[in-house]
Amino acid sequence: MNTVKGKLYLIPTTLGDNEPLEVLPISVKRIIEQTDTFIVENEKTARRFIKKITPNKPQPSLNMFHLNKFTDVSELPGFLSPCLNGTNIGLLSEAGCPGVADPGADIVKLAHQKNIKVVPLVGPSSILMAIMSSGMNGQSFAFNGYLPIDKGERRSEIKRLERLSFEYNQSQLFIETPYRNNKMLEDLCHTLEKNTDISVACDITLSTEFIKTQTANEWKKNMVDLHKRPTIFIIHKS
């Protein structure tokens, strides 16, 4: 008789150091209580999150596979072996939703290839929450990850995204390394046309949350300190 395959649960985490059940549904807690095998980016932070949301769960019983930039692609099939043997697995992101701007997408793709049921759980996505609160085009938008570090290349990419936004009426989202956020906002203000809208969504779901949309020209007059604060930038030229 064939063994019934386990499921791959995509388990969201918080976007910062707040209480999990303030931003996550009780279903996330229930799935973690029932799961002992996890695929994680960082074992230390994953264990801390699991302990916080299910304090009575025995930590020694947890089995963890590490999926990050150092993981060799040849290791991935082995991560899903428990599923093939009937055991459920939880995929945890470092922050937010697995598979979205996250290396977990590789393991999800492999799960589909192996006919393993993938179950996404509800949780905060900084990308979606930023576009929701921006007032920009929620029907057509693109997430572009990180922009180039080189000053000339960055300026060219910003102008390219501005053109795309205008031509297709498409809002353009991107991120920056948190300690370079202030420089990013300055570059946007001095590169974009003065009436192009810039939305800044910072510390989403935290007590220090800041979300503001205004033109590049208005931002020049009202700069904000974004240093080391997780931020989503969105631009839109109408």
pLDDT of 6 reads 97
User: What pLDDT shows up at residue 167?
Assistant: 98
Between CA 76 and CA 50 the distance in angstroms is 22
Mean pLDDT rounded to a whole number for the chain: 96
Using the predicted structure, report yes or no on whether residue 133 has a pLDDT greater than 90: yes
Q: How confident is the model at residue 3 (pLDDT cuts 50, 70, 90)?
A: confident
Closest CA to 90 of 120, 53, 114: 120
56-90 tens-digit pLDDT? 999 999 999 999 889 999 999 999 999 999 999 99
Residue located via tokens 């989503």: 232
Torsion of CA 174, 127, 202, 214, to 10 degrees: 70
102 confidence band (pLDDT: 50, 70, 90): confident
Give the rounded distance of the alpha carbon of 184 from its chain centre: 19
Please check the confidence at residue 1 and state whether its pLDDT lies above 80. Answer: no
DSSP element (H, E) containing 78: helix 76-79
19: helix, strand or coil: coil
Percent share of the chain, pLDDT over 70? 99
Q: What single-letter DSSP state applies at residue 206?
A: S
pTM for the full predicted model: 0.92
Question: Is the pLDDT reported for residue 237 higher than 70?
Answer: yes
- What would the mean pLDDT of 180-191 be, rounded to a whole number? 98
Interval 17-30: pLDDT, tens: 889 999 999 999 99
pLDDT of residue 71: 93
- The per-residue pLDDT for 208 is 96
pLDDT range class, residue 2, cuts 50, 70, 90: low
Q: How confident is the model at residue 101 (pLDDT cuts 50, 70, 90)?
A: confident
% of residues, the chain, pLDDT over 90: 94
